């Protein structure tokens, strides 16, 4: 995306990016002999123990593989590690309380721009991030935008992203008259209208859904709208946003009833219950269908396909995905042990099996893991390989920081879209309200 300050061209111009591209498709881990020989280890403090707070799994294999790696770490170092799992919406407030009180988990795995809510409360992990990046083909630009906001210091490590891809029933889309999934917004809308007429509607979350609500970013960006410009000036009240909302009203009219209250689990359930034919989601719907003990649901897996969001009038992809970070809290008594834990978890011997265990639910944040077998072992996994590589951070087109993190945590864009397209407010009223709410965070 040439209009972003963290575009792919700049990434490829870096030595790490060039090395990554040179090795793509080779099946290797994209490691140079020098990088393969590199090693770094942090000396844990005597008597160290660690507590990790992380978001709860949507794919069981994720947490199973993660805990296997935790056990390996404890066996190797003797450091006991307690792992607590919470829903995405619960991790954010608990992380904020921990940062403000200076007590709680040593390590927190959270979402999106949360690290920028309290950057001064996080341990500087630049040495660790640079080691991992150099060894494994380079961090993708979006990960750097989220966790290296000043371009110098890393305030956390990227973990990956849950891809917000289109998930659809191939048979139903074909029955509606579409042999392939639409690649542009005009045909996308036509497909949704046809699906509704066939009695097989689609639906996407319009509640305060941390992950699935990100389709609202795509909608606004696809028509040229944006929350802020490159100077962090709030510009959401614009003709471009108005066009997006007018399109959204037509799209919403085709949705199954109830999407205004949907949070992240709701569309999974509706899809697997056969209530909807298309939605946006991570790969968890497909994984659940494959692993289901219900024959009808299991049979559905062969009919499920995945696609990227269509391209709007701006003419370029405008992907928005749920980014995952790993933060070490500055108050930890055991900073070296915490760094060693994250280093251990990101090394190939642990990270490859975890990506595989998560069954493509988490996209790689590093170019060197793009060749992991999970992405091609099933063609339906492949679309979920590149979300970190292709995504725009939610603070587009401005600089990430407290304001972008606060605006995202306050669901300003999602609320605006929900209000406008459902008719509870006129598009103009919804834009004006979003403008005022965002200006409370962005004080330029």
Query: So where are the chain's domains?
Result: 8-163+321-388, 165-319+410-441
In angstroms, how far is the first alpha carbon of the chain from the final one? 26
- CATH fold of 8-163+321-388: D-Maltodextrin-Binding Protein; domain 2 (3.40.190)
CA gap 82, 406 in Å, rounded:
29
Which has the closest alpha carbon to 342: 351, 353, 333?
351
Give bridge partners of residue 284 from the DSSP assignment.
none
CA gap 248, 424 in Å, rounded:
13
Rounded to whole angstroms, what are the CA distances from 95 to 63, 100, 109, 116, 403? 20, 9, 9, 12, 17
Which has the closest alpha carbon to 169: 319, 286, 248?
286
Contact 160, 361 (CB under 8 A): no
- CATH fold of 165-319+410-441: D-Maltodextrin-Binding Protein; domain 2 (3.40.190)
Q: Which residue has the tokens 């080691």?
A: 131
The answer to whether the Cα torsion of 41, 43, 49, 52 is positive or negative is: negative
Contact 300, 272 (CB under 8 A): yes
Which has the closest alpha carbon to 112: 392, 339, 329, 332?
392
CA gap 331, 316 in Å, rounded:
43
Give bridge partners of residue 363 from the DSSP assignment.
161
Three-class DSSP category at 161: strand
- Helix H or strand E segment including 201: none
Query: Where would I find the H helices in 136-282?
Result: 141-147, 170-175, 185-197, 215-222, 239-252, 264-272
The one-digit pLDDT tens for each residue of the chain (444 residues) are 334 333 443 333 343 333 333 333 333 344 443 344 467 779 999 999 999 999 987 889 999 999 999 999 999 999 999 999 998 778 989 999 999 999 999 999 999 889 999 999 999 999 999 999 999 999 999 999 999 999 999 999 999 999 999 999 999 999 999 999 999 999 999 999 999 999 999 999 999 998 899 999 999 999 999 999 999 999 999 999 999 999 999 999 999 999 999 999 999 999 999 999 999 999 999 999 999 999 999 999 999 999 999 999 999 999 999 999 999 999 999 999 999 999 999 999 999 999 999 999 999 999 999 999 999 999 999 999 999 999 999 899 999 989 999 999 899 999 999 999 999 999 999 999 999 999 999 985
């Amino acid at each position: 995306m040439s209009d972003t300050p963290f575009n792919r061209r700049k990434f490829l111009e870096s030595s790490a990016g060039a090395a990554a591209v040179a090795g793509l498709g080779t099946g290797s881990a994209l490691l140079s002999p020098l990088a393969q020989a590199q090693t770094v280890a942090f000396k844990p403090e005597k008597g160290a123990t660690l507590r990790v707070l992380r978001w709860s799994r949507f794919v069981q294999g994720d947490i199973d593989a993660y805990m296997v790696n935790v056990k390996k770490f404890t066996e190797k170092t003797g450091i006991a590690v307690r792992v607590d799992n919470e829903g995405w919406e619960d991790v954010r407030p608990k992380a904020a309380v921990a940062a403000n009180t200076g007590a709680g988990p040593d390590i927190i795995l959270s979402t999106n721009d949360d690290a920028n809510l309290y950057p001064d409360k996080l341990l500087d992990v630049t040495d660790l991030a640079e080691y991992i990046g150099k060894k494994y083909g380079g961090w993708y630009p979006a990960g750097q935008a989220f966790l290296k906001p000043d371009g110098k210091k890393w305030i956390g490590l990227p973990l990956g992203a849950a891809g917000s891809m289109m998930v659809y029933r191939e048979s139903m889309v074909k029955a509606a008259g579409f042999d392939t999934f639409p690649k542009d917004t005009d045909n996308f809308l036509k497909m949704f209208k046809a699906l509704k007429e066939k009695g097989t509607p689609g639906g996407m979350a319009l509640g305060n859904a941390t992950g699935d609500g990100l389709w609202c970013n795509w909608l606004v960006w696809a028509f040229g709208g944006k929350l802020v410009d490159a100077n962090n000036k709030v510009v959401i009240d614009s003709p471009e946003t108005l066009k997006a909302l007018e399109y959204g009203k037509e799209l919403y009219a085709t949705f199954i009833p109830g999407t205004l209250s949907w949070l992240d689990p709701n569309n999974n359930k509706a899809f697997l219950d056969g209530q909807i034919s298309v939605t946006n989601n991570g790969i968890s719907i497909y994984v659940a269908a494959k692993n289901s003990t219900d024959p009808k649901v299991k049979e559905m897996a062969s009919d499920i396909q995945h696609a990227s969001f269509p391209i709007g009038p701006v003419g370029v992809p405008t992907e928005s995905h749920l980014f995952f970070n790993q933060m070490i809290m500055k108050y930890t008594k055991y900073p070296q042990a915490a760094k060693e834990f994250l280093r251990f978890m990101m090394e190939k011997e642990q990270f490859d099996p975890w990506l595989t265990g998560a069954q493509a639910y988490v996209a790689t944040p590093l170019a060197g893991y793009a060749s992991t077998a999970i992405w091609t072992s099933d063609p339906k996994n492949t679309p979920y390989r590149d979300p970190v590589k292709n995504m725009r951070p939610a603070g587009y087109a401005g600089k990430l920081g407290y304001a972008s993190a606060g605006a995202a945590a306050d669901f300003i864009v999602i609320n605006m879209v929900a209000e406008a397209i459902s008719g509870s407010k006129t598009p103009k009223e919804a834009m004006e309200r979003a403008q005022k709410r965002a200006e409370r965070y962005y004080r330029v």
